[in-house]
Amino acid sequence: MHNLLSRANSLLAFTLWVMAAVTAACFLSTVFLDYTVSNHLEVNDIKIRNVRDYATDDKQADLATLAFNLKVDFSRLFNWNVKQLFVYLVAEYKSAGNAVNQVVIWDRIVERAERVVMDEIGVKTKYYFLDDGAHLLKHDNVTFVLRYNVIPNAGYLRLVQSTNQLVVPFPTTYTTTRRS
């Protein structure tokens, strides 16, 4: 502390300690909050085609196309420790081949704002809904689940599931036309 550089060094180091402490306090002030929201989901216009799965084993597999409407109010989730949300829609079902199938068909980054309401209508799937086999046809209950990562400014990456799910029976016949 006897010269300017020494004092500047001490001051800077202490400043960084204080900023780290404030960041830790910010994390502690938000870690026990409840981050669940409900959603309103409708799935329409489901078509299944039987196609050749060229990417893996070259066998015939079921490919589903669909459109959905999704309405969620995320405003309540954002606080000073939430930077953005990573929201995704998963189709979960049981099949003869696998006990658990989970296919992510759509995702979206939702950034912080004063009021954040997602009201999507007629959204097509972002990723292919290709079954591991041909088990989608006539399936009674494919469940659509909305989950999201809460991406913090400080802390761990939290995964939350929305409160309600949608169970949908799938078509009983294949579509043979090209138009989805």
Smallest separation, CB 39 to other proteins (Å): 24
CB-nearer residue toward other proteins: 23 or 165: 23
Nearer of residues 70 and 82 to other proteins, judged by Cβ:
82
Residue closer to other proteins (CB basis): 23 or 149: 23
Residue 133 CA to residue 98 CA, distance in Å, equals: 10
Cα–Cα dist 162/15, whole Å? 40
Question: What is the smallest separation between the CB atom of 155 and other proteins, expressed in angstroms?
Answer: 12
List interacting residues with other proteins (CB under 8 A): 1-8, 10-12, 14-15, 18-19, 21-23, 25-26, 29, 79-81, 153-154
CB of 156 to other proteins, least distance (A): 16
CA gap 52, 58 in Å, rounded? 6
Q: What is d(CA 110, CA 59) in angstroms, rounded to the nearest whole number?
A: 38
The conformation of residue 28, written as its DSSP 8-state character, comes to: H
Q: Which is nearer to other proteins, 29 or 164 (CB)?
A: 29
Q: Which is nearer to other proteins, 77 or 168 (CB)?
A: 77
Contacts of 15 (CB under 8 A, 6+ apart): none
Nearest approach, Cβ of residue 44 and other proteins (Å): 38
Looking at residue 139, its amino acid is H
Alpha-carbon gap, residue 32 to 37, rounded angstroms: 15
CA–CA distance, 177 with 62 (Å, rounded to integer): 14
Nearest-approach distance from CB 152 to other proteins, in angstroms: 10
